[in-house]
Structure 1
Amino acid sequence: MSDPSSDVRAFEAHAPEADLDDLRARLAAARLPEAETVDRAATGRGRWEQGVPLDDLVEIVDYWRTSYDWRVFEGRLDRIGQFRTTIDGLGIHFLHRRSARADATPLLLTHGWPDSVVRFADVVEELANPVDAAVPAFHVVVPSLPGFGYSERPAVTGWGTEKTAAAWVELMGRLGYDEFVAHGGDWGGNITTVLAGRFPDHVRGIHTTFAEGTPGLTMDGLTPLERAWAEGTRDFWRHRAAYAKQQATRPQTIGYSLVDSPVGLLAWLLDKFAEWSDTEGSPFETISRDHILDNVTLYWLTRTGASAARIYYESHNALDPELRVEVPSAITIYPADVERCPRPWAEQRYRQIVRWGTPSRGGHFPSMEVPRHLRRGPTSRPRRRVGRPGTLKACDGSAYWVG
């Protein structure tokens, strides 16, 4: 995937003040519907049965308009280190934090939807320069998916998970990381699986919170917990995945609302943070309002509500059923995630699972919900196995967790 525009350039985020003024004016002029018809005195998840409750939305819209400071997050991104490069004709934005440690391992983190690089903002520094010298350190790279954030919006079809995975290998090579470990959740987990399956000479090992089995597997022999996971995932796709069907079939239609209305965008994304996180009645129990608004504001200012939705159109059900992952794989299944893959199913695709984790807390956004739960595998140095000379086939130290 060679490209003459291979220079990596420093990038600085700075939204025009006029765009922030326009956002606040739109929030002030928002037209809201009547309240949901569920019992407004209800507690817990029942309050969200019809979607984002009006009272909750009014409160966060007011905070967004009067108190939230986007410049704080812009500064955080700049301190981590932001860059742009062009791959296959598309501008790709990424965060890059090199570790001060000489023994650091290159680490690629890939986000999904409805999030962005915001997903990993809280964990980059700890991964790059951990306080405990016994903890592995990483050179951290966090790209924005095509059509997300400060990456360019594709003008043609084709930027699905396979092409994105190939682009990530090109990106890491440009940074001098011919071999690396990778982590992802949601679409980032799918892309991480593709990376490991398609590019094993570059990927030492992976960790994912989104393991995907192969089609047609039976529930025979599963434990009661594993059956509950499988049935819960099936229930999710049958009854709670209308957003995915919409974005996989008509992303342009919903895109008009997501780009034109900040309140519409907020509600569309907030609904998923609420349903998919490990909380009782509000995503703000584990994720701060500012973190949620960092993410939503990034979508708003970059006008990527429609282009980000298209990842479903490009990639929904596109994972090759024959794809197998032979590199060492660590998998974590969080208790409140919406898709949980039984280990016997995961083993059909991931052929060398070196660590399987089932934490007691956390949902779909663990690095935002429980950012201190950074876990690592064995601390031994990478070891080489028999294979092509000079090719790192396995890395014991890559069985890490990004919680």
Structure 2
Amino acid sequence: MEPFRISVAQDVLDDLRTRLVRTRFTAPSAPGWDAGADPDYLRSLVDYWANGFDWRAAEMRLNAYPQFTDRGQHFVHVRRDASRPPVLLAHGWPSSFIEMLPLTDLLEVDVVVPSLPGFLFSALPDRPLTRAAIAETFHTLMTETLGYERYFAFGGDIGGAASGWLATMYPHEVAGLHVIHGPFPADFDAAPITPEEQAFLDAEERYDEWDSGYSWIMSTRPDTIAAALADSPAGLAAWIIDKYRDWSDCGGDLESRFDRDTLCTILTLYWATESIGTSFRQYLDYPLNTPRPQITVPVAVTQSHEPGIENFPRSIAHRAASDIRQYSVPGRGGHFLAFEEPRLIADELRAFMQAVD
């Protein structure tokens, strides 16, 4: 385990600015964001990224958190109270470890925030990047690298799914699981699908038909789109902010949830690490995932408020997990809930950990 500090070379930043100021922007195909990233907003953000954003200040803020690498795995490790089980906070796509930092600031226990394999400073493993493989990497980090005997896991999106696998693969070490997307069962064979469940599944399918273009591209032609995004920072920005706006609980106003410095910090991290392509690997490898067994450890759900998932029936989570201790639907905070509503999540996570531990 080696200490790690973020230090982007100045020539990388100079090259980035040169590319930004020479960006060629597309004409809009539809008003505003109706056809994807709004070209007018993108132009404004790119101008700020090139001429107003202070990366070195952002770098200094990030380096205030103790960071390490071990076996190619990057993580933040904040020590606070070793007498209680720690918590692992796992992000998703197109996110990064910084999504979990506001939540980290509010917790009183030891906190571990890994970068997903293939994201930013974490290397890809030498095997398919399934949810189970991510879980195994995280468990090795928590037990072998850091020496914890028991721990809690929290996450959403990919991180939440990997945390679900942690709970099924290592039920004796995982004290509890807290997720922002209610877990899905491997199948619906145990009991007939209810009308509420069917309505949700139908609505989710309709939303996916509208929203899943990005996923199909990254699942089937990741190297093609990665070649464009790795060469154009404006293209990278468009690809990422489109999802931050769509999936967050921002009411169409992206900067009501993510200010420009935060957006530019995320974008610079992806750019400087050249990791947008490797972040797609878990999409390419998704068909290699196997059905996850039922979750038997204590579970808490704080349901996110985002398109396609906000009407998730609690009964589906009960099909997937046998011991749901806590379930709430706050009606605010989207796909990046830990960042959008860190105090809400801190309160719910704290209550869950205290009740279980």
Residue among 159, 165, 168 paired with 2:135: 165
Question: Does 1:353 find its partner at 2:334?
Answer: no
For residues 192 and 214 of structure 2, what CA distance do their matches in structure 1 show? 27
Superposed CA RMSD in Å reads 2.1
- Residue 25 (structure 1) aligned with residue 18 (structure 2): yes
* Aligned counterparts of 1:118 and 1:63: Cα–Cα separation in 2: 20
**Correspondent of 2:2 among 5, 9, 28:** 9
User: Partner residue of 1:3?
Assistant: none
Q: Whole-Å Cα distance in 2 between the matches of residues 26 and 381 of structure 1?
A: 47
Give 1:205-220 correspondences, 5 Å limit.
205-217=176-188, 220=193
Counterpart Cα distance in 2 of 1:242 and 1:10 = 39
8 Å Cα contact 2:87/2:154 also seen in 1: yes
**1:331 is aligned with what amino acid?**
V
1:97 to 70, 74, 78: 78
Contact 2:305–2:335 (Cα < 8 Å) also in 1: no
Query: Bigger CA drift: 107-116 or 29-38?
Result: 29-38
Other-structure match for 1:230: 201
Match of 1:110 in 2: 90
Match of 2:356 in 1: 396
Which runs of 5 or more residues in structure 1 are unaligned? Answer: 1-7, 39-46, 128-136, 383-394, 398-403
Q: How far apart, in 1, do the equivalents of 2:91 and 2:147 lie? A: 22
Query: Cα distance, 1:116 vs. partner?
Result: 0.7
CA distances 1:212-267 after superposition (whole Å, capped 9, x unpaired): 322553884344xx665433322222221111111111111111012111011100
Equivalent in the alignment of 2:272? 301
| Residue correspondence of structure 1 range 114-263 to structure 2 within 5 A | 114-127=94-107, 137-154=108-125, 156-173=126-143, 174-217=145-188, 220-223=193-196, 229-263=200-234
Cα contact 1:36–1:54 (8 A) shared by 2: no
Q: Which has the higher contact order (CA 8 A, sep 6+)?
A: 2
Q: Identity of paired residues, percent? A: 34
For residues 165 and 123 of structure 2, the distance between their equivalents in structure 1, rounded to whole angstroms, comes to: 22
What SS does the aligned partner of 1:295 have?
helix
1:365 to 336, 340, 346: 336
Q: 2:39 aligns with which of 54, 79, 93?
A: 54
TM-score, scaled to structure 2? 0.92
Is the alpha carbon distance of 1:105 and 1:346 closer, same or farther for their aligned partners in structure 2, counting shifts above 3 Å?
same
**What is aligned with 2:253?**
282
- For 1:62 and 1:379, how far apart are their aligned partners in 2? 43
Q: State the alpha-carbon separation in 2 of the partners of residues 227 and 159 from structure 1.
A: 31
Q: Within 2, Cα distance between the matches of 1:337 and 1:380?
A: 26
Task: Name the CA distance, whole Å, in 1 between partners of 2:117 and 2:350.
Answer: 34
Q: Cα–Cα, structure 1 residues 68 and 229, in superposed 2: closer, same or farther, change >3 Å?
A: farther
Q: How has the CA–CA distance of structure 1 residues 317 and 293 changed in structure 2, closer, same or farther, with 3 Å as cutoff?
A: farther
Structure with max Cα Rg = 1
Q: Which runs of 5+ in 2 are unaligned?
A: none
Residues 378 and 29 of structure 1, relative CA distance in 2, 3 Å threshold: closer
The structure-2 alpha-carbon separation of the partners of 1:380 and 1:14, relative to structure 1 and needing over 3 Å to count, comes to closer
Q: Equivalences for 1:310-325 in 2 at 5 Å?
A: 310-316=281-287, 318=289, 320-325=290-295
Residues matched between the structures, number? 352
**How far has the Cα of 1:35 moved from its partner?**
2.0
8 Å Cα contact 1:189-1:211 kept in structure 2: no
Residue 126 of structure 1 aligns to a residue whose secondary structure is coil
CA distance in 2, matches of 1:282, 1:380: 32
Residue-by-residue CA offset, 1:296-318 (whole Å, 9 max, x unaligned) = 11100000010001111122572
Q: Given that residues 276 and 338 in structure 1 are in contact (C-alpha distance below 8 angstroms), is that contact kept between their aligned partners in structure 2?
A: no
Q: Secondary structure at the match of 2:246?
A: helix
Letter in 1 for 2:297: V
Q: Is the 8 A contact 2:186 2:320 kept in 1?
A: no
Q: 1:330 pairs with 271, 294, 300, which one? A: 300
Per the alignment, residue 268 of structure 1 pairs with 239
